[in-house]
Structure 1
């Protein structure tokens, strides 16, 4: 995929100790950027042994606990200069350009740009500690996406789901949670989860995650229309990545069987289907996972 000519967002804070060593294939090419796949949140529960119930309203976050490293000082503001930082800033900038136009046009809601914090190991967020093992996540309290870019290496090694297209979708999915927040969905889900049984809370979490999948597809649709971002094989790369991190596959890999009532992110089939729905339709209204009888 092409991302080299994307506008770099200035809404980035780099808290990494030194530049990132992660390499983005094709970063030197001109053009635009397309989509990736979701890859993010399934790491938290079943793959890494972290209790998935810490998810609140679609934002994976730790409510407490320590870490081996904590970065509490503010980082450098603006687009980083290393390749990995440039990639993250470019994808964030492209989501800004898409949603600033699409959200008011389609649902009459003004888009407010989120922030992105790049960190190494662990850092503070207004939702608790952010740790690399959690994968990227969106904190609705400070409207910020937190990401340790080494997560992309984990994607490639652990799930065989590498590629800049897939990595871009990781960011777009978290920005999808920001869109949900602007639409008022996350606060309503958080309130409903507090009053729900564990099984009901899990189902709400699945719907939040699948909607973010779909919204990432909407972003990809409009990015492709305007910047002609996709290259041959990109959609297949995204679908492969989405399939790799469905709750069912992660549970079978971790414990030998799947327990659907404990899903918090959706099955492989659901994640691929909702992402493709957004990609094909290009409409926020097509992403109503809460209106569907079964997502």
Structure 2
């Protein structure tokens, strides 16, 4: 059996298939970023996600995750997986490669992540040829959930949003004010997740002109920071694919931004795991 795992900041999707390409099991666990999780944590989450009866049957594991671009991170993940799947070979890769394989398959294109965070790369159908510099939510992540939250809250407090949206917001969040916001951002943990938590509300009101305007600002900033300067990529002729909750829930406006810039919008997926599974089915040597 071959096990494929896609791990983001908040959760990991696990799915395994057998020699006849049938799905044998699926599971979910916490996100496993090696910057925050040690090998023991990886082992615990993997063991809980996959029934023990299958541990010895797994012969190959393809793990894609945030924080897995450097050798140190890959080593932590591999050490944890080895504790659970003793008979397997392991392939640990960055989540950007998961997006490229899920979105592009064996074709050339630009693969983008737009979820809690943001990233993009140029993929030639086999290899990531160049990738954007991702600075995280403090210095970057333009277009991602945390960035949308920043823009929305600033526009709200600067009275740039419509009365309809502002009124609806304070009805939903009656205790919100500037003092609370600053405390939440600078005195508590996970400010990026807090900022991203407003994405569902923003999505509900995305047809409002004031909200649509800030969304266009955010997605144009994403293109400028993550796509325009990708080395070796002719962005005018390549499809630009997206994966992630923000791309999915705001796909109409995202497509409009690309069209306005005469760029070709490719596929948009909410989660890559099923497309990633198909990639490995098509390319398995089992």
Using the size of structure 1 for normalisation, the TM-score is 0.25
Query: Which structure is higher in strand share?
Result: 2
Q: Which has the larger radius of gyration?
A: 2
Higher relative contact order (CA closer than 8 Å, sequence separation 6+): 1
Using the size of structure 2 for normalisation, the TM-score is 0.26
